[in-house]
Structure formats: C-alpha cells, structure tokens
Amino acid sequence: MRARTVSAAGLIVTRTTSAPTSVCFQCLRHDSLPSPFPVQSRKYHPTRRRDASPFGAAVSAAQTIFKGMPKAPPGISVDPLRIVGKELKFLSKNIRQLLGSGHPALDKVAKYYTHSEGKHMRPLLVLLMSQATAIDPRKLPAEQSNPSPVDNPLSQPSILDDSNPDLNPLVSRATESHQYNIAGDDNILASQRRLAEITELIHTASLLHDDVIDNAVTRRASSSANTAFGNKMAVLAGDFLLGRASVALARLRDPEVTELMATVIANLVEGEFMQLKNTAQDEAKPVYTDDTLNYYLQKTYLKTASLISKSCRSSAVLGRCAPEVVEAAYSYGRNLGLAFQLVDDMLDYTVTEAEMGKPVGADLELGLATAPLLFAWKSNPELGPLVGRKFREEGDVQKARELVYQSNGVEQTRLLAQEYADKAVAAISDFPEGEAKSGLIEMCEKTMRRRK
C-alpha cells in the first residue's frame, strides 16, 4: 500500500509496505546468473523524547536524533573501504599525476585539495559498482578485455600542447608506454579505475568553485584554497581540474560515458544557479507551496546526486552491462545521492562543529533554505519573509533555527532521506550476492548513520 509520494522533476519517492520491485539482473552478455534473494530494506527509528520542551531542550533533542539508531544488522558487516582498498590506496597519487603542470603556482593550487584526506565517497561507489556488476574478463569482447591504455591521446601530443611533467615523456603515439599500470582487482577495468579518478576530479573542482562562491575559510580542517591563494587562483585551478578531467574522459573512448559525465558539469552549474535563487518564487515574501520541496529536490539532484548517479551508470556502461543493470546502477546512485545530501542538510542542525569537522549552522548564514527549514516552513508561514530576504536581517537566523527545532523539520528530513536510501537498496536487489553488493548496501546505511 502506498503511503505517500514526493515528485521533483522526475524524482519520485514512494513508500510502500510491500517488498520492493525487483530489477532483473542480466549483467552477463553471454551467461545468465541465478536470481539472488531480494535484499529487504532496513529502516532506523530514532529514540523520541516525550517531554514537550522550550528551545534549549528542542535543540538537545535534535542533536540526539541518531543516538537511538541500532547498529547495522549482523548480516551486513562488510567494510566498503576494505573491498576496494587496493584501488583507493593509489587514488590520490594517480589524481595528482593527472594534474601535473609546468607552471609551479598552478601545479601547487591544482593539487592543494588532493593532499588532504577527503571521504572519497564518489570514487568508492564507482569501484564498488564496478565490482558488483563485473563480467568475467574472459567473456568480454576482445577489444574490451584488452582495452587501449587510458593515457593514450587521440591526437598528436604536439598538437595538444598540454605537457604534464608528472607523466613520462610521450615519445609518439606508436611507442607510448601505458602510464596507468597500478595492479588492482581483476574485476575492475582500467577504464573504471580512471572513471573513479575523473569523478573525484570533478567533485574537487566543484569544491574549489563552491568555496569561492561561499567565501569559505576552511576546508577539511585546513585553510580553503581561496583563503590560501585568493579567489582568482582558486577559480582557475578548478577550471584546470575540469579540463584535465575532460581529457581523461575523452581517452576512455566511450561516447556514452563522455556524454554522461560532461552533463554532470552542466548540472553542477545549473544547480548552483537554482540555489542562488533559493526557491521557485521571486516574491520578497514567498509562500510555501507544493513546488517548494520539488524545487529543492531538483536542485539537490543537480548539485549532488547527478555526479553520483551518472558515475555509477558510467561504471556499468564501461563494464558492458545489460540495459536493465545500467538503469539499476543509475537508480542506486541517484537515490543514494539525494539521501546523502538530505542527511548533510540535517547534520547542519544536529551536530556540533567538533563532530562535523567543519563549521555547522552555515546554511542559514549563507541564506540557504534546506530541507529541515522547508519542512518547518510548511507549518510555520512566518518563515516566508525570512526565506524571501535570505535571513539577512538581525535575528533572522536565530528565529529560523528556533522554528526548525520546535517543529518536526529535522525528523521529516530524516524520514525522507531514509526513503531514498531504501530505494537505493531496492534498486540493486537483484545484483548477485557478494562483498561488492554488500558494500553498496552498507554505504546506504553508513549514509544514514554518519555524523560528519
């Protein structure tokens, strides 16, 4: 029985009491796999406080929203990082190799964020998806099981005029050696490893640009690039990362993957423009409507879920999977990406700066109305004028936070995030059982449990 549906430009959320609809898994082109048991989604329920309380107690209740959650069931005890540890071990090194520049200042700024420890969530998902949908290399067409080296250019190096001192000198296209020779899991193709790196390059470029837009001071417990080098250098470094990501993408020699990942960059920009507008309305005193949440979810897809969903899809495309498996990979990434951002928005209201490892409460300071506030706005019309002026007047931020804490905005955000996480698990329910599939499921559960 359907409980409720949320639609946002094609993003549909439906809760049902029946088992999730299975997606037929036929990833092998030449052999079929036995149908595995469907994975039942797991839902977490916070411990609710019964005391009706003023603002201080409401804040405390919001901060403990996750403390009542049980640990993952004993059947899921896999560590996603361990599964693809061989590949991730060399990820940062390979990315820095792609970013080498003969200009010392550009070389330093372009590699600045690669020296700090990030989550590497996006490349981790690409590698897990590559394993979960792997085809025996012996059963692939000859050109796929023995692909062209992912560093080989399509044009003469002299024409490209894009020297990279971190790569060995290119003698000629005929004699060029394969630069990408890190040994890893046999079930992950060289092109899929490079895709994981491209995904992280695009994400890091977006961080460089976002920090300039948001006037960020810190990033990953260090000075942000715009603080350390200035806005102009940070923007140019982000552009350079996108350029090198595009070159690496072209050398994968797959038009569909190129199209998918190129549109991610356009999605990021469009999502940023939607965020600058804040809501679908232009009035100074907007009113909450059914379009308000849809607008926010579409913005969230473009800014966050697009990269995750299209990189997961691209991984399956590179693995030459059947169309239904490609669709399942995309659905998993889209729903997990939406859940991830919803949890991120919720943490801005529920954790301390020490826990988060970065400033919290910044969304309202930046004039952003995220999911917890939108849910609170639905039952508190007085938030409309504050949203319209982007919380610029004195006392706006404090008042908005109080109304979010006093309403159930945080809890509704958690429930919506859980719906998306459940849909991500359901999307891969017919993938063959194994560590990689368990790792993908665990990533959904880690998303719901994360505190930073």
pLDDT of residue 32: 33
Please give the angle made by the CA atoms of 281, 286 and 292, to the nearest 5 degrees.
Answer: 60
**Could you confirm whether domain 2-449 is CATH 1.10.600.10?**
yes
371 band by pLDDT with thresholds 50, 70 and 90 = very high
**Tens digits of residue pLDDT in 261-290:** 999 999 999 999 999 887 766 566 788 988
For the chain, what percent of residues have pLDDT higher than 90? 55
For the chain, what percent of residues have pLDDT higher than 70? 72
Q: Higher model confidence: residue 181 or residue 388?
A: 388
Query: Can you tell me whether residue 6 is helix, strand or coil?
Result: strand
Q: Which of 23-32, 51-60, 332-341, 425-434 has the weakest average pLDDT?
A: 23-32
CA distance 190 to 318: 10
pTM equals 0.79
Mean pLDDT of all residues in 355-370 = 76
pLDDT of residue 138: 45
**Tens digits of residue pLDDT in 209-267:** 999 998 999 887 789 999 999 999 999 999 999 999 999 999 999 999 999 999 999 99
Q: Are 62 and 405 in contact (CB under 8 A)?
A: yes
pLDDT of residue 168: 59
Highest mean pLDDT among 52-61, 238-247, 355-364: 238-247
Angle between helices 190-213 and 255-277 (to 10 degrees): 20
Query: Can you tell me whether residue 221 is helix, strand or coil?
Result: coil
Mean pLDDT of all residues in 116-121 = 80
Residue 13, token pair as written in the block: 């959320």
Whether 20 shows a pLDDT value over 90: the answer reads no
DSSP, residue by residue, 392-443: -STTHHHHHHHHHHHTTHHHHHHHHHHHHHHHHHHHTTTSPSSHHHHHHHHH
Residue 365: CB atoms within 10 Å: 12
